[in-house]
Amino acid sequence: MTSNALLYGPYVLAIALAIAALIVRARDLASTTQFRMMLGGAGLLALGWTGFLVALARSDL
């Protein structure tokens, strides 16, 4: 069975990136474009990992 760190690691990273992006934006340390890129990157990471896990679950491996 796959370890929990492998399963949940990207989600934890995505949450950390989203929190960091919100802190940076709240303190006005980044432009709106940088903020959107950080949140978009966090979302894409979580979405990509979810797709990978779904594909892996449906395979015969």
SS3 content of the chain, % helix, strand, coil (to 5): 80, 0, 20
Question: Between residues 13 and 2, which one has the greater pLDDT?
Answer: 13
Please state the pTM of the whole predicted model: 0.57
Which pLDDT belongs to residue 5? 60
d(CA 51, CA 33): 26
Average pLDDT of the chain to the nearest whole number: 77
Which pLDDT belongs to residue 19? 86
Model pLDDT for residues 34-59, shown as the tens digit of each residue: 777 877 887 888 888 888 888 887 87
